Amino acid sequence: MAVLKVHGAVFSTASMRVFACLYEKDLDFQFVPIDMKAGQHKSETFLSLNPFGQVPALEVGDQKLFESRAITQYIAEEYADKGTQLTCPGKPLAPLLVWKEVEAHQFDPVASKLNWELVFKPMFGMTADPAVVEENEAKLGKVLDIYEARLAQSKYLACDCFTLADMHHLPNLHYLMGTPVKKLFDSRPHVSAWAANISSRPAWSKVVAMQKQ
């Protein structure tokens, strides 16, 4: 079986999305840290893996993949019989497809803006913009109202199993829960229970542990 090499960074949400998938699937992988501060993600070597110059990138055999959600989808399909299923076996296809897109297009843009302002800017010595935070908190609230209604009917977003649709939220969720935005999750009971549930998965704690090394 070809070696899986992940080029990324332990603090990068997109890299964490891929690590989560690898741990859920119980797959061995080589981690190649990319030093973003030193601009290594814009080096010729890295650009040959991902011409867009963004982490993560995955090498497996001759193949080079990038875009975290393409990588997780690839892992979930290639290694379908290893570890956690990550799809809804025996259930209709459509909800998984829909809720994966919801994470990518409704949750992630708003969550990313908030994490940029509240987590990463301070890390880089810059100041959060309160107007941007306020605007995006309002948007996130509306998204989470829809999640609350959905999770009142379904244990996980796509079906009654943990899938890629839930998993893709973990990195942004992890960071948001360390900011005042946590209140938006805590005040919605089904969202709160779901967030706590998926964040307590053993595979996810291994991803978080990578940041403590």
We find the least distance from the C-beta atom of residue 100 to a copy of itself, in angstroms, to be 7
List interacting residues with a copy of itself (CB under 8 A): 51-52, 63, 65-67, 69-71, 73-74, 77-78, 92-94, 97-98, 100-102, 104-106, 146, 149-150
We find the least distance from the C-beta atom of residue 108 to a copy of itself, in angstroms, to be 9
Which amino acid, residue 205?
S
Q: What are the Cα distances from residue 96, in Å, to 11, 63, 89, 103?
A: 27, 26, 11, 11
* Residue 96 to residue 18: CA distance in whole angstroms: 18
* 8 Å CB contact between 5 and 59: yes
* Residue 12 to residue 7: CA distance in whole angstroms: 11
Which amino acid, residue 71?
I
* 8 Å CB contact between 57 and 68: no
We find the least distance from the C-beta atom of residue 94 to a copy of itself, in angstroms, to be 5
Q: Residue 59 or 210: which CB sits closer to a copy of itself? A: 59
Q: Residue 51 or 189: which CB sits closer to a copy of itself? A: 51
We find the least distance from the C-beta atom of residue 93 to a copy of itself, in angstroms, to be 6
Closest CA to 129 of 142, 120, 118, 140: 118
Q: Residue 71 or 203: which CB sits closer to a copy of itself? A: 71
Q: Residue 68 or 201: which CB sits closer to a copy of itself? A: 68
Q: Residue 66 or 204: which CB sits closer to a copy of itself? A: 66
* Residue 178 to residue 194: CA distance in whole angstroms: 17
Helix (H) or strand (E) holding 205: helix 202-209
We find the least distance from the C-beta atom of residue 104 to a copy of itself, in angstroms, to be 7
* Residue 197 to residue 204: CA distance in whole angstroms: 11
We find the least distance from the C-beta atom of residue 85 to a copy of itself, in angstroms, to be 17
Q: Residue 51 or 89: which CB sits closer to a copy of itself? A: 51
DSSP lists the bridge partners of residue 59 as 5, 64
